[in-house]
Structure 1
């Protein structure tokens, strides 16, 4: 047996906002005992001295896109629809080495900032491949992070998904977008089935799932097939849901009902389903998701970065709906910092109501980023707590760091003050992957040179695709801005009433 003893540390208790002194005994990657200082341990146990350290559960990122890590800072005033318009050049022409590199870069940032597990909807253009998804899984395995990896799949293009968008384009551009074709659904699901049949990683660490991207980007047959395949293989389903007002309005136009109501009518919802963003939901939509035991991945950073709106998290929690926190991809939120995501989740809740009783408190936010996200990953009984029987996914924060001087309320400071700069040690499944703030599993200097070389190569390879997207951008933006002025009964934006 392999034992590790973490001694002399203080373990965060989010329910009482205290951090009592405690020792933690780890046995074969799982927490065996959490007790007062001096607990018994085998003589040959590896000892980690946690003096002046605060021990917290590893933060869990319930939604990101690993492929986006190569283009952090790649756009500024992009809405969701403009991001989707840019998607082909952001993820196009990648080799297996690029796919591995992008996931490695994402893992490096998350681990160094105290995140120990992630749900990644990874995009391959034009379609997922067995080799590509294995490269992503291998990157996460080599980095030492826990991950759920879902190929993002669809059978409709972005331009087909929004009613009347194609007709609003100039004729020359219309001809270009009409030539864009998705891989046939049968081919996509053949790849997915082979991926699930031949998953080569330990599922306790690297787990497969399916990611039908957005309801309007998928035909009903496609959604039903994805749902049935996920049930057959007992894997998760992850999808962007009602992320923007454009999606919400288009859903009503296309289905005659909300996006969530349509998914419900297909039998798509269930405890295996995690909906990302979920901003433009009404009370009935929230009730549907809660009744089916689904989860939400709340991404406050990208929701604001893309101008999508503020998700009704308080209403979700009051309805009994499970909510986790995510960063979203680095190409649309610009970093993978779960501490920042927690802080933004707290602050965003204050924009929805003048009644402070409706704001998220810091204990709730900390729970969303740990136990809530764990459930969204399908690992609610395995990770997210510093407790016996749970995986030893732990982060040690340096209490000598200025973020913690002085310590007043450890939960408030975790959410509102900590920014990842006090991360000292990160442990995943009992293995130390960050020590003294330095990654042990990834050569960051090599990562830097490889990433710079990759974006130079990919910039040239995607030059024409990017040029077309930039020609389309103004037309797509104007059309969607006009559509967004249409009335909708859900209000998720703090729009000014001043005349323009």
Structure 2
């Protein structure tokens, strides 16, 4: 049960992230009850010495993939098309225990690096299962994170979804790629619906969502079915929209010149329940549309750079009125779950636009707010600041750590110097989940041992499909880059005219 605690002697990050005054922090019934002058008596509250600590709201990961926990470091010089080409062996052959294990790895890393909630888009082939989703929910609950688990689904494979790709492949790759199949619309929506009907994890702060993975990967019938399902059960939705140039090109080719987001909006998917992941190639019109519909954007700069996708137009999104959060992406596409790094890269990336002026850059306090309050809104949470009435999702950082010596500016140092190594304690809903850098919900050493055993087994099980993926990958790269180049040239011609 949540305790009545008084954190004493701490510095507490202000809601605007511009200062961190000293205060005693009263936590009661899982919520922040009061911010008190240092030394205030608080009745029967149990004192907790937080001297030499900076207390910040828990960081919220606006976009991750729990199934990526077992896939760290899988690739090197990969763009997004290459990652999707290799997905069958990266994530293939998973047993039920592997699904729990991969999610637990994801949860532990997020927790230890100061994150208290995540928007997770996991994948099960060929279709989500109630047992798999329950296992993932149990993993997050065991570690203690809040989560939205939105299974990543489509009724078209990557090869089928990318215009002209199957036809461009030489034999024998063409036959195998064209013959790959996912589950039917009825099977996929039926599986998520069954999970929603039996969902028992809300009491443990884990909610179900729905993630039509990439709009190109769904027929119109499928996308509309996902929206109907989400409306019926009140599920949050997130989709990888305009992440890479070849996707933006493929969308306009398939949808008669409409952008991916415009087409999704025509089908009724875009609204306050919906957020875009990545959005690197969203147009100005897309951003205005997203703002009008009350949708959001998870900015995932690490993965966008790692996969050569580009830089998302975050300043334009903010100015358009879009709710913007920050995410890490999965550990097979960004390779870690470090929201401090994600903040740092988001601030860096904002300075790389050719015509960007200082007013266009993300400031440090603003970046912190995007990674807390902004991401919270994407998940449908009301957290992100330390104020009375808010959930007590709190992270304590050691101000004696070299990252904070000396303490000059709390917001600047959260973004520029902190890397997660000063995190000592994490509280979610008033309960400690990390104490003195130790995860309380499970045995971390045993988790790592089991992860290595699983990885070795999966490497052997996926050896044949890995060989096929490595052989077909150069052909995929050639096609997707040509698609992207053609789209870029057409855009330049339109601008010139």
Which TM-score band applies after superposition, normalised by the shorter structure?
A: over 0.9
Residues 336-375 of structure 1: matches in 2 within 5 Å?
Answer: 336-352=337-353, 353-375=355-377
Give me the whole-angstrom Cα distance separating, in 2, the residues matched to 1:444 and 1:415. 27
The answer as to 2:318 corresponding to 1:329 is: no
| Change beyond 3 A, Cα 1:263–1:16 | closer
Specify every segment of 5 or more residues in structure 1 that has no aligned partner in the other structure, as ranges.
493-500
TM-score w.r.t. the length of structure 2 is 0.96
Name the counterpart of 1:7: 8
**Cα distance, 1:365 vs structure 2:** 0.4
The answer as to 2:143 corresponding to 1:159 is: no
**Cα distance, 1:489 vs structure 2:** 7.9
| Change beyond 3 A, Cα 1:436–1:198 | same
What do the CA deviations read for 1:326-359 (whole angstroms, capped 9, x no partner)?
0000011010000000000000000113411111
Name the counterpart of 1:95: 95
Name the counterpart of 2:280: 279
Segment of structure 1 superposing worse, 285-294 or 466-475: 466-475
Name the counterpart of 1:51: 51
Give me the whole-angstrom Cα distance separating, in 1, the residues matched to 2:57 and 2:237. 25
| Change beyond 3 A, Cα 1:342–1:491 | farther
Contact preservation (8 Å) 1:280, 1:490: no
Give me the whole-angstrom Cα distance separating, in 1, the residues matched to 2:173 and 2:421. 47
Give me the whole-angstrom Cα distance separating, in 2, the residues matched to 1:490 and 1:59. 40
Name the counterpart of 1:185: 185
Contact preservation (8 Å) 1:14, 1:366: no
**Cα distance, 1:491 vs structure 2:** 8.4
Contact preservation (8 Å) 2:71, 2:91: no
Q: Give 3-state SS (helix, strand or coil) of 1:122's partner.
A: coil
Residues 59-208 of structure 1: matches in 2 within 5 Å?
Answer: 59-203=59-203, 205-208=205-208
Give me the whole-angstrom Cα distance separating, in 1, the residues matched to 2:373 and 2:61. 11
**Cα distance, 1:363 vs structure 2:** 1.1
How many residues were matched structurally? 489
Name the counterpart of 1:234: 234
What do the CA deviations read for 1:8-41 (whole angstroms, capped 9, x no partner)?
1010125362211111111111111122213342
Name the counterpart of 1:497: none
Q: Give 3-state SS (helix, strand or coil) of 2:341's partner.
A: helix
**Cα distance, 1:409 vs structure 2:** 1.2
**Cα distance, 1:203 vs structure 2:** 4.7
Give me the whole-angstrom Cα distance separating, in 1, the residues matched to 2:316 and 2:442. 41
Give me the whole-angstrom Cα distance separating, in 1, the residues matched to 2:84 and 2:178. 16
| Change beyond 3 A, Cα 1:168–1:450 | same
Name the counterpart of 1:315: 316
Give me the whole-angstrom Cα distance separating, in 2, the residues matched to 1:281 and 1:135. 35
Q: Give 3-state SS (helix, strand or coil) of 2:302's partner.
A: helix
Give me the whole-angstrom Cα distance separating, in 2, the residues matched to 1:365 and 1:28. 30
Give me the whole-angstrom Cα distance separating, in 2, the residues matched to 1:258 and 1:157. 20
What do the CA deviations read for 1:263-299 (whole angstroms, capped 9, x no partner)?
1111211000011000101110000000000010110
What do the CA deviations read for 1:443-486 (whole angstroms, capped 9, x no partner)?
11101110000011111111111111111111101111222211
Residues 397-436 of structure 1: matches in 2 within 5 Å?
Answer: 397-436=397-436
Segment of structure 1 superposing worse, 393-402 or 473-482: 473-482
Contact preservation (8 Å) 2:17, 2:368: no
Name the counterpart of 1:449: 449
**Cα distance, 1:2 vs structure 2:** 3.6
Q: Give 3-state SS (helix, strand or coil) of 2:121's partner.
A: strand
Give me the whole-angstrom Cα distance separating, in 2, the residues matched to 1:158 and 1:355. 38
Contact preservation (8 Å) 1:14, 1:363: no
**Cα distance, 1:229 vs structure 2:** 1.2
Name the counterpart of 1:42: 43
Contact preservation (8 Å) 2:246, 2:484: yes
Give me the whole-angstrom Cα distance separating, in 2, the residues matched to 1:32 and 1:80. 45
Q: Give 3-state SS (helix, strand or coil) of 1:101's partner.
A: helix
**Cα distance, 1:438 vs structure 2:** 2.0
Name the counterpart of 2:295: 294
Contact preservation (8 Å) 1:3, 1:42: no
| Change beyond 3 A, Cα 1:491–1:413 | farther
What do the CA deviations read for 1:360-389 (whole angstroms, capped 9, x no partner)?
11111001100000000011x2x2111111
Q: Give 3-state SS (helix, strand or coil) of 1:194's partner.
A: helix
Contact preservation (8 Å) 1:281, 1:490: no
What do the CA deviations read for 1:212-237 (whole angstroms, capped 9, x no partner)?
10000001111111111111111101
Give me the whole-angstrom Cα distance separating, in 2, the residues matched to 1:42 and 1:92. 55
Segments of 4+ in structure 1 off by > 3 A? 487-492
Give me the whole-angstrom Cα distance separating, in 1, the residues matched to 2:25 and 2:300. 32
Give me the whole-angstrom Cα distance separating, in 1, the residues matched to 2:111 and 2:17. 27
Give me the whole-angstrom Cα distance separating, in 2, the residues matched to 1:491 and 1:454. 46
Q: Give 3-state SS (helix, strand or coil) of 1:117's partner.
A: strand
Contact preservation (8 Å) 1:14, 1:411: no
Name the counterpart of 2:495: none
Give me the whole-angstrom Cα distance separating, in 2, the residues matched to 1:144 and 1:308. 33
Root-mean-square deviation (CA, aligned residues, Å) is: 1.5
